[in-house]
Amino acid sequence: MNKKIGAKKPERSELGRVRDRLTFLYLEHAKLNRQDSAILVMDSRGTVCVPAAVVSVLMLGPGVDVTHRAMELIGTSGMGVIWVGEHGVRQYAYGRPLNHASTLLEAQARLVSNSKTRVAVARKMYQMRFKDEDVSDLSMQELRGKEGARVRRVYREQSKQSKVDWSRREYNPDDFNAGTPINKALTAAHQALYGLSYSVISALGASAGLGFVHTGHDLSFVYDFADLYKAKYSIPIAFNMTAKVGDDKDIASKTRLAMRDAFKDGNILSKMVVDLKYLLGEADLEEDVDSLSLWDDKLGLQEMGVQYHEIEEDESV
Q: What is the DSSP string of 175-205?
A: -GGGS-HHHHHHHHHHHHHHHHHHHHHHHTT
Q: What is the DSSP letter of 43?
A: E
Decide: helix, strand or coil at residue 209. coil
Question: Please, where are the H alpha helices in 90-180?
Answer: 103-112, 115-129, 140-162
Specify whether the CB–CB gap between 37 and 72 falls below 8 A. no
Q: Is 68 annotated as a binding residue?
A: no
Specify whether the CB–CB gap between 278 and 96 falls below 8 A. no
Strand order from edge to edge, sheet including 80-84: 22-27, 55-60, 80-84, 91-94
> Which one-letter amino acid corresponds to residue 268?
I
pLDDT tens digits along 67-76: 999 888 887 7
Cα–Cα distance measured from residue 47 to residue 104, given in angstroms and rounded to the nearest whole number: 38
Decide: helix, strand or coil at residue 84. strand
Question: CA 60: distance to chain centroid?
Answer: 14
Rounded to an integer, the average pLDDT of 38-61 is 84
β-pairing verdict for 55-60 and 80-84: parallel
- pLDDT tier at 231 (50, 70, 90 boundaries)? very high
Residues 6 or more apart whose Cβ sits within 8 Å of residue 235: 154, 155, 158, 186, 189
Cα–Cα distance measured from residue 40 to residue 47, given in angstroms and rounded to the nearest whole number: 7
Name the residue with higher pLDDT: 186 or 200.
186
Specify whether the CB–CB gap between 78 and 205 falls below 8 A. no
What is the model's pLDDT at position 202? 80
> Which one-letter amino acid corresponds to residue 247?
D
What is the model's pLDDT at position 302? 63
Q: Is 28 annotated as a binding residue?
A: no
Longest Cα–Cα distance in the chain = 84
- pLDDT tier at 3 (50, 70, 90 boundaries)? very low
Domains and CATH numbers, the chain: 18-84+293-310 (3.100.10.20), 102-285 (1.20.120.920)
Question: CA 310: distance to chain centroid?
Answer: 45
Q: What is the DSSP string of 284-299?
A: T--TT----EE--TTT
Q: Is 214 annotated as a binding residue?
A: yes
Residues 6 or more apart whose Cβ sits within 8 Å of residue 58: 24, 25, 27, 39, 74, 79, 80, 81, 82
Decide: helix, strand or coil at residue 11. coil
Residues 6 or more apart whose Cβ sits within 8 Å of residue 71: 81
Phi and psi of 96, rounded to 5°?
-85, 160
Specify whether the CB–CB gap between 62 and 32 falls below 8 A. no
- pLDDT tier at 25 (50, 70, 90 boundaries)? confident
Decide: helix, strand or coil at residue 125. helix
pLDDT tens digits along 75-116: 777 677 777 766 554 555 555 555 567 888 999 999 999 999
pLDDT tens digits along 242-295: 999 988 888 988 998 899 888 877 678 788 888 999 999 876 655 444 555 566
What is the model's pLDDT at position 299? 63
- pLDDT tier at 1 (50, 70, 90 boundaries)? very low
Specify whether the CB–CB gap between 18 and 287 falls below 8 A. yes
